[in-house]
């Protein structure tokens, strides 16, 4: 029976969906920092909307990658080795973005601030691009030989799925970030975010829509799910236009959930298809760990996941409420050294 | 060591298997002995400096328990030097683990029948080329090098700024009155 492997496949897709949903708005806010906000105080408003949550959200990425490694070691080995260069770049983007958040306020020159603001924006865009591209690639496949190794060198992963998935990831994060800012801020930034969200929603969704739509080629009945995703996206647009901020945020998330469901229900039972020969494709059966490992992991997950979700809900409730420019304290300056 | 060696040779072989997974290393004699001086001292440095870091932190908590900062110059110098302790402990511990487990990348778990283990020579992904490894090695070293310089400069700025730079609340003479109106309040921690 492959029931355990199927459960873990579903769990891993849930983790990747959770990551895209949660870190999606963090990445979007990061990308918007240099362009949406004019003054230094406005930039700090943007940064502080994600201040309490960005690192917790990033842990979903660690968990998703770690769970993939533990539950499907062959999937992880093939995919991560094949994407060695882009994932190294993604790692550099993750490092720069995290450091940018921590360092930005610790210097006071214009050059220092604008360097870290751009590090934040470029890092965020890089993460969104490479994670989006990676997920699209794992659903569409790579030229794998019978050992699960990629054929064609370090750049054989470049292709249309990487482009759709990557640009789709950036577009999704941008719109998600704008909708989130509409929920979390007051005044100018709130108005501007709503305006931008209305204009950018449809063009930014093209990449993911193509990726979601391709699932129909795998299983025709998924057209129902894709249509539902398109309806959710349309509803998001009308919610944004009518200023229903909470509904817009929820609907945009629902659109993501439906779309990813279509993609991975279409790929099932493949976790990483081979474009050379379907006999080389990695499936949930050929890529998974032993039943013993999967059982132990399941027990741990059943106990720990509710706790994690519980304290994440707690932290979001704790920091509920809008942030305005008046809430931002004066920048803390290091006193000039006193020589003794 | 002398009793363990024959045991390992019996269980896991004296030579690497003749298998393409081992590449040019297939059939090589296995050296089960890690570099003992690194293993021996790596562990002691990790624990020693880890204890120093924990001890200094506990001492600092105790000395600042009344919301004041001690003025002793020697204590200050000691505090400065102790910044290095967790870095040394971390690095020593990392080197100890990575080098101590050789020649295995996954050390065997002898408790179970189907002992899982993997020799380092078999661990390299066949799809990786030396150029790809060089790319990650150089780019990560470069980024960490740059960030180390930035971090050191920030540390120096904050150390020169004294206690007030890290803990403004300790040195503030008049406490700002508590604001009850939420609209006028500011974030107590902000990036």
CATH number at residue A310: 1.20.1630
Using pLDDT thresholds of 50, 70 and 90, give the confidence band for residue B116: confident
Question: Which of A106, A109, A105, A122 has its CA nearest to residue A43?
Answer: A105
Using pLDDT thresholds of 50, 70 and 90, give the confidence band for residue B17: confident
pLDDT of res. A17: 94
Measure the CA angle with vertex A175, ends A174 and A180; round to 5°: 100
In a domain, A284, yes or no: no
Could you give phi then psi for residue A20, rounded to 5 degrees? Answer: -60, -40
The region that residue A23 occupies, defined by phi over 0 for left and psi between -120 and 50 for alpha, beta otherwise, is alpha
Residue B185 has pLDDT above 90, yes or no: no
Measure the CA angle with vertex B182, ends B180 and B187; round to 5°: 105
In a domain, A8, yes or no: no
- Rounded to a whole number of angstroms, the distance from the CA of B9 to the nearest CA of chain A is 27
Of A102, A329, A334, the CB nearest to B165: A334
Average pLDDT over residues B170-187: 54
* Domain span holding position A164: 20-275+302-327
In a domain, A332, yes or no: no
In a domain, A13, yes or no: no
Chain B hits for A328, CB-CB cut-off 8 Å, are 186-187, 190
Query: What is the DSSP annotation of A35-55?
Result: HH--SHHHHHHHHHHSTTTHH
Interfacial A residues in 73-102 facing B (CB < 8 Å): 77, 81-82, 84-85, 88, 91-92, 95-96, 99, 101-102
Average pLDDT of chain B?
81
Give whole-number Cα distances, B167 to A87, A327, A328, B176, in Å.
39, 21, 19, 15
pLDDT of res. B122: 84
Contact A96, A47 (CB under 8 A): no
Between chains, do B154 and A103 touch, taking CB under 8 Å as contact? yes
Between chains, do B164 and A326 touch, taking CB under 8 Å as contact? no
Q: Per-10-residue mean pLDDT for chain A, 340 residues long?
A: 84 93 94 88 88 88 92 91 93 92 86 92 96 94 87 86 94 95 88 88 93 90 94 94 91 95 92 88 88 89 88 82 82 58
Contact A179, A21 (CB under 8 A): no
Best residue in A89, A97, A100, A327 to probe B by mutation, most B CBs within 10 Å?
Answer: A327
Average pLDDT over residues B59-69: 81
In a domain, A108, yes or no: yes
pLDDT of res. A79: 93
Query: How far is residue A248's CA from residue A237's CA, in Å, rounded to a whole number?
Result: 7
Between chains, do A147 and B157 touch, taking CB under 8 Å as contact? no
pLDDT of res. B46: 94
Q: How many domains does chain A have?
A: 1
List the single residue in A with minimal CA-CA distance to B148.
A99
Contact A68, A135 (CB under 8 A): no
Q: How many helices (H) and strands (E) does chain A have?
A: 13, 2
pLDDT of res. B66: 75
Which contiguous run of DSSP H or E holds residue A285? helix A284-287
**Cα B85 off chain centre by:** 11
């Amino acid at each position: 029976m492959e029931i355990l492997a199927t459960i873990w496949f579903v769990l891993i897709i849930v983790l990747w969906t959770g990551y895209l949903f949660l870190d999606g708005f963090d990445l979007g806010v990061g990308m918007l920092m240099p362009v949406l906000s004019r003054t230094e105080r406005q930039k700090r408003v943007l940064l502080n909307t994600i201040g309490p949550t960005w690192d917790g959200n990033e842990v979903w990425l660690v968990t998703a990658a770690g769970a993939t490694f533990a539950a499907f070691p062959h999937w992880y080995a093939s995919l991560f080795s094949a994407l060695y260069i882009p994932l190294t770049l993604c790692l550099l983007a993750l490092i720069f973005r995290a450091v940018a958040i921590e360092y930005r306020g610790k210097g006071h020159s214009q050059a220092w601030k604008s360097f870290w603001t751009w590090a934040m924006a470029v890092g965020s865009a890089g993460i969104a691009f490479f994670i989006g591209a990676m997920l699209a690639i794992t659903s569409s496949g790579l030229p794998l030989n019978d050992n699960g190794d990629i054929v064609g060198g370090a750049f054989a992963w470049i292709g249309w799925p990487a482009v759709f998935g990557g640009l789709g990831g950036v577009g999704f994060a941008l719109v998600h970030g704008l909708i989130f800012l509409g929920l979390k801020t007051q005044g100018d930034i709130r108005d501007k975010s709503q305006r931008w969200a209305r204009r950018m929603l449809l063009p930014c969704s093209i990449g993911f829509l193509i990726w979601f739509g391709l699932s129909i080629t795998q299983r025709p009945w998924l057209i129902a799910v894709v249509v539902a995703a398109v309806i959710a996206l349309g509803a998001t647009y009308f919610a944004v236009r009518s200023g229903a901020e909470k509904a817009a945020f929820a609907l945009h998330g629902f659109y993501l959930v439906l779309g990813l469901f279509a993609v991975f229900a279409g790929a099932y039972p493949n976790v990483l298809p081979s474009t050379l020969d379907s006999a080389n494709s990695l499936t949930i059966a050929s890529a998974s760990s032993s039943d013993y490992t999967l059982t132990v992991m399941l027990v741990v997950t059943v106990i720990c996941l509710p706790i994690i979700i519980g304290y994440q809900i707690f932290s979001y409730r704790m920091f509920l409420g809008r942030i305005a420019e008046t809430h931002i304290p004066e920048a803390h300056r290091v006193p000039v050294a006193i020589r003794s | 060591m002398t009793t363990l060696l024959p045991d390992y040779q019996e269980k896991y072989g004296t030579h690497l298997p003749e298998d393409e997974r081992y590449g040019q290393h297939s059939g090589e004699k296995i050296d089960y002995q890690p570099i003992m001086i690194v293993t021996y001292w790596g562990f002691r440095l990790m624990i020693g400096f880890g204890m120093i870091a924990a001890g200094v932190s506990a001492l600092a908590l105790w000395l600042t328990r009344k919301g004041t900062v001690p003025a002793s110059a020697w204590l200050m110098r000691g505090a400065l030097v102790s910044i290095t302790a967790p870095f040394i402990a971390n690095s020593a511990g990392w080197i100890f683990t990575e080098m101590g487990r050789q020649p295995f990348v996954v050390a065997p778990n002898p408790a179970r029948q189907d002992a899982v283990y993997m020799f380092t020579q078999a661990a390299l992904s066949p799809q990786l080329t030396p150029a790809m490894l060089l790319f990650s090695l150089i780019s990560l070293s470069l980024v960490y090098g740059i960030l180390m310089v930035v971090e050191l400069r920030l540390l120096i700025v904050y150390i020169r700024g004294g206690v007030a730079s890290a803990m403004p609340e300790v040195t503030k003479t008049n406490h700002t009155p508590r604001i009850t109106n939420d609209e006028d309040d500011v974030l107590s921690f902000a990036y």
